[in-house]
Structure 1
Amino acid sequence: MKKIIVTLFTLSCSIIMAMAQSSSDNSLSNLKIGAFVGLNMPKLTGGGGNPLSENWSSREGGAFGVTVSWSTGPHFAWRADLLYSSEGGQRNKMQAIDGPSFNPQVPAGTYFYANFKNQSILNYLEVPVMGKYSFPLSKSSYFYVDFGPYIGFLLNANQKTRGSSIVYADPEGTQAVSVNPQTGQPFPVSLDADTDIKDKIHTINLGLTGGIGLTQKVGFGELVLDLRGAYGLTNIQKYPEDGSNHIGNLLVSVGYSVPF
């Protein structure tokens, strides 16, 4: 997997450099290379009518990467990144749990409900390739917009649950099923668990990404402030019984680029 990712990014960089070398001035002077780091705010959307995969909210995750770009004119450039992105979602409320995992005697497709914290953490290496259009603000700064496709490779996927709760047969929490058989009183059960779910998630995610940014010349290179959104076009679950989610995120990053 690492060889595939490095090969893809190297190929993207090679294409950009080849285009630059074949330009009219036969020069690499329009190339820029940089690095960036940021805060990711991902979210799982959809659900496919499955209560196990619905009603996710955003979580926070880290992101960082390297970038290469080539200007083809005063306002337009091509950009390719290699980006580590921590994505997923969270739920911190009454939510569905798989019935057979709580009580093996109930049939598949049965859902129980409990109030606990649940995080789905999906870490990707992504390779976006975007076109970038710039609007000069001064001799030393410019504003830009960019857009393009990306491919993401799943590194790992984990489900982290925390908390204790009475387990119910209904989402309203009126029919307790975690009941002491001797006293007839409901009791809370621990839902703490760390579960590797990589085998349930597609390893490749295709999507679209784009955003806006601001640059300011600082020293030999330029400081870059970037705001980017992304949406995966691939249903991340391998199996229909797990639901149907797409992954998206909003990334705020700061970076520094230098001319080649």
Structure 2
Amino acid sequence: RTYYQGEDRFPDGMDNPIPNKFVVIKPGERFLFAIRGSASWRGLAKEMLILAADEYGFGAKTRVGYGRLTYCKNAEDLRLEIPEAGDKALVEIYKVHKGNAQLHDTFRAETEKRFYCPELDLLFRKYKPACCFLADLEDKHPEQWRDVKKIHDQHKKMLKNAPIDPVDPVIQEIFERCRPLAPENIPPWFQAFAPTPAHYIAGKTAIEIQNFLEKYRKNWPPLADFKQAIETAMHLSDEDKEECLLILEMKMEEIAGKETGDG
């Protein structure tokens, strides 16, 4: 201390150090570095800058760790990174950036590509809540409607945030699992899970409808219900309707023959 205060005394290492005062930046502050020039070298310059900031830092006392900066990835960087991330890494990215509206479509698209697993539950609750509902049904094996209702109540809030598509295989699986337990007066939420013939033929060509009817094996909706849906389909011509109704009639006769043992 006496040495730094100017007294004629050689420092012997026994004094308390007085740190030099210099400007510092508190943790969490962000800096914008603009890189200009031809596209051929901007990417390389960016990589070099990121490496220098992370490994060496800027300013004073960098050898002891001061001045190091971590690169803050932007939405464009993350859109490229998200599809390559494993399940665990994807969840961590989502936890940090779930509030970024620019990434919602990317997170949704990536969730759509993946199979449900407990590790991805956070993402599926946001973007595919029906998968969480189905997983719960498979895990708890409800035997009465009140058990189904209890499970549904736990997922009700999430399900309201996602559209219900009755022809989605997940929605159909939920419906088929719960239908035998449903009361006569089924509640509106369960009615929304029930596919109708109109759902199945919407947007299909006459050939696609005929192929669909020939391969139809579901118990719900009943095959006979397709007659009215075909007759009232606005996108089919009269000739298309006749051909579809003919296939429907043949399919129903085939099923009736099998049930009576004539086939």
Query: Would the TM-score normalized by the shorter structure come out above 0.5?
Result: no
Give the greater-gyration-radius structure (CA). Answer: 2
TM-score by length of 2: 0.20
Higher relative contact order, chain-length normalized (CA < 8 Å, sep 6+): 1
Greater share of helix residues, 1 or 2?
A: 2
Greater share of strand residues, 1 or 2?
A: 1
